[in-house]
Copies of this chain bind each other. A is one copy, B any other.
Amino acid sequence: MEFRRTHYTSHVTPEMNGQTVKLAGWVHEIRDLGGIMFLVLRDREGMAQITLFKKTIDPEVLKTAKALSRESVVLVEGDVKAEAKAPGGYELVPIKIDRLNPVKSPLPMDTTGKVDAELDTRLDNRFMDVRRPRTQAVFHIRHHMLSAVREFLEQEGFIEINTPKVVATATEGGTALFPITYFDTEAFLNQSPQLFKQLMMSGGMDKVFEIGPIFRAEEHDTRRHLNEATSIDIEASFMDHEDVMVILENLVVYVYEKVAERAVPSLKTLGIEL
Contacts and interface: CB of A to CB of B under 8 A. Distances in A.
A162 B212 CA distance: 8
This chain: copies in complex: 2
B147 A147 contact: no
Interface string A1-22: 0011100000000000000000
B140 A159 contact: yes
A172 B243 CA distance: 46
Interface residues of A, number: 60
A5 to B, nearest CB: 6
Interface in A181-227: 181-183, 189, 199-200, 202-207, 212-213, 215, 217, 219, 227
A165 interface: yes
A84 B242 CA distance: 39
Contacts of A243: 4
A180 B179 contact: yes
A179 B200 CA distance: 29
A99 B130 CA distance: 56
A235 interface: no
A238 B4 contact: yes
A203 B136 CA distance: 9
A161 interface: yes
